[in-house]
Amino acid sequence: MELKVDRIIIILMDGVLYASWIFLVAIGLTLIFGVMRILNIAHGSLYSFGAYVSAVFVLAYFRQGLWPPAVFIVIIMAAILTGFIVGPLMERLVLQRMYRKEISLQLLTTYALFLILEDVMKLIFGTSPFYAYEPLFLVGTFQTGGITYPRYYLIIMLVAIVCGLLLWLFMKKSAIGKQVVSVIHDPEISQIMGLNLPKIYVITFSIGASLAAMGGAFTAPILVVVPGLSVEVIVISFAVVVIGGLGSLGGAALGALIVGVVRAAAVHYLPVMELFTIYIVMALILLIKPLGLFPMEEARKI
């Protein structure tokens, strides 16, 4: 009995950790979809871009021998910097030409961006791995269920919760956030009412990009940063947003938790079926709720 409880604690811990960082990627994805109606395949590349920039910054910071705890500010800066540089570039140069185009063209555009960004990262950061473990060792460990965990895991969870809350507050309270919400509901009417649509698109895309980069930046210390990180992230976060309902922030949170825990359980009980179980759960949820748990409301088109 004791053993079983331990195992459940381990699964929950793993699941929630995984859910936290996949949530950071998925809310950006779902936010961008809500506003621009584009599902950004290159979103995973923003995640690994964030991871690379953060690893480089962290290594450089520790080489300087500065006050160690401030490294978390460096990580956050790395994420925001990545998001607000790469994001607007992608949006202004490419994506803004694709709004209201055919869905196959939009998908392929972001897929092309994904291919390009993957190689751009190889050109900038090289192909050798980055190890930026210092922040992980900095905060020490704690014990639950007979297993020692790095406290750093708790920091990742905290970051996910704080980012989720900040985004929610931004959408509910700030002027720009309210404009974003109105664009989600009806871009045409919003524009007629005088909103600057291109500006809102750029801001939303940069915020979404920074969130993905934040996920990458904070997971960089617990991973080896190598080329090809983006792929798993993007494929899993698609499952998360589809489960939650495309365009729904609450849905992304619940979807991330479901995917995280299901994945952790699969890893412990049926390692062969890791990816498979996630998609089976997704298929089952879609059988009951065809557009995910919290779908966006849309009028029927005739």
Q: Is 26 in the site for other proteins (CB under 8 A)?
A: no
Tell me how far, at minimum, the Cβ of 279 lies from other proteins, in Å.
Answer: 4
Q: Is 288 in the site for other proteins (CB under 8 A)?
A: no
Distances (CA, A) of 302 to 177, 186, 299: 31, 18, 9
The 3-class secondary structure across 106-118, one letter per residue, is HHHHHHHHHHHHH
CA separation for the pair 218, 75 (Å, rounded): 7
Q: Is 118 in the site for other proteins (CB under 8 A)?
A: yes
Q: Which residues of 103-119 are buried (b: 16+ CB within 10 A; e: fewer)?
A: eeebeebbeebbeebbe
Residues 217-256 that bind other proteins (CB under 8 A): 231, 235, 238-239, 242, 246
Stretch binding other proteins (CB under 8 A), from 140-148, 175-183, 199-207, 279-287: 279-287
3-class secondary-structure state, position 134? helix
Q: Is 123 in the site for other proteins (CB under 8 A)?
A: yes
Q: Is 186 in the site for other proteins (CB under 8 A)?
A: no
Tell me how far, at minimum, the Cβ of 105 lies from other proteins, in Å.
Answer: 5
**Alpha-carbon torsion angle 205, 212, 87, 194, nearest 10:** 10
Using CB under 8 A, pick the residue from 108, 124, 147, 161 that binds other proteins.
108
Pick the closer one to other proteins by CB: 3 or 302: 302
Q: Is 99 in the site for other proteins (CB under 8 A)?
A: no
CA separation for the pair 159, 150 (Å, rounded): 15
**Length in residues, the chain:** 302
Q: Which positions touch other proteins (CB under 8 A)? A: 33, 39, 94, 97-98, 101-105, 107-109, 111-116, 118-120, 122-123, 127, 231, 235, 238-239, 242, 246, 271-276, 278-280, 282-283, 286-287, 290-291, 302
